Each structure stands twice: as structure tokens, then as C-alpha cells.
Amino acid sequence: MSGAALDVLVVDDEPLARAGVRALLAEQPEVGAVREARDGEAAVAAIRERRPDLVFLDVQMPRLDGFGVVEAVGAGAMPPVVFVTAYDAHAVRAFEVHAVDYLLKPVDPARFRDAFVRAARAAAGGGAAALRAATGS
């Protein structure tokens, strides 16, 4: 994995949860800028304007939730996304919208690293190449 450092967007309505993902991202050498969004609307705006390379997206947020964000941006325009959620009730739906991975809070650092590497490969490859990269090779 070489090339430019990755721009990452962290979306969660809880400051502490964002800080948690930020701390895990600080461990990843490939990460460049990290931005935060505190709700769904802010996330949609940030994705449209800033075009981050990958997104860590909380599922449960007031008003516009994680799935709402993917829908609003459009699956085609959506950067690789890793869902992060507190309660395992959305995994199937997450993969239906082609999430790269699905993490449960509190997040295990090794598991986070796996998800990050997959997402980074998807960001590097784009589209079908990303899928192949994410599934191995």
C-alpha cells in the first residue's frame, strides 16, 4: 500500500466515539487528514465537498442515520465505507449497501486494522477492482 496518504471522514453523533475511531486511525501509517462529522447531514455535506478516500460511519444517529447518509450521497458516489455500530442488528443491511466492513463498538484494534486495510485497498482500486482486492489477493 503506497501512494498519497488517505483522507478519512469519521461520522458519529458522540464526541467520545469519534475520539475512539480517531485514536485507532492514529495507529494506521497510511492515514493523512482525519475529519469528523457529528450527524448525518454534516456527513453528506462533507462527503460531497471534501470527497474523502474512506468513511467510518456510525449507524444509529438522530434524524439521518448511517444508511440514510449512503442513500443521500448515492451508492455510486459513496467512498468505501466501514460501518461502526454499538449493537449488531444491521450487519446484513450494511453489506447490502456494499459496505467494505462492519465493526462493533467497543472496537477491537486488530479487527479495526483489518477493516482499515480492506477499505484502503478499496479506495486504491475503486469499483470492481476494490471488491477483488477486499476479498484477498
Partner 1 sequence: MGAHHQGVTTTDSPPRGAWAAPVLAGLVLALSAVAPFVRFGDGVPSVGGADVVAAALSVAAWAPFVAALAWLGRRAPGRGAWLGGAVLLLVAPPLHTLLFAALMGIVAGGVPPAMRPGGPVFLVFTLLGALQFLVVLAVAEARRAARAAAGLALEHAWMEAELTKARLDALRAQLEPHFLFNTLNSVAVLAPTDPAGAQAMVRRLSELLRAVLADDAMTVPLRRELELLEAYVDIQRVRFGDRLRVTAEVDADALECRVPTLVLQPLVENAIRHAVERREGGGHVRVRGRVDRGRVLLDVTDDGPDAADEPPPAGGFGVGLRNTASRLGALYGAAHALRLTRPEQGGCAVRLELPAR
Residues engaged in binding partner 1 (CB under 8 A) = 13-17, 19-20, 23, 39, 60, 62-63, 86-87, 104-107
Cis omega (within 30 of 0) for bond into 80:
no
Indicate the residue among 15 and 32 with the shorter CB distance to partner 1: 15
- Residue 53 sits at the vertex; the CA angle it makes with 52 and 58, to the nearest 5 degrees, is 70
- Residue 128 beta carbon to partner 1: minimum distance, rounded to whole angstroms: 34
- Residue 59 beta carbon to partner 1: minimum distance, rounded to whole angstroms: 9
- Residue 2 beta carbon to partner 1: minimum distance, rounded to whole angstroms: 30
Indicate the residue among 17 and 123 with the shorter CB distance to partner 1: 17
Indicate the residue among 60 and 74 with the shorter CB distance to partner 1: 60
What contacts 66, CB < 8 A, 6 or more positions away? 11, 40, 57, 58, 59, 60, 83, 85, 90
CA 116 – CA 108 distance, rounded (Å): 12
Q: Taking each helix axis as running N to C, give the angle between helix 40-50 and helix 66-73, from 0 to 180 degrees, rounded to the nearest 10.
A: 40
Which grid cell sits at 65? Answer: 442515520
- Residue 6 beta carbon to partner 1: minimum distance, rounded to whole angstroms: 22
Partners of residue 84 on adjacent β-strands: 58, 103
Indicate the residue among 16 and 128 with the shorter CB distance to partner 1: 16
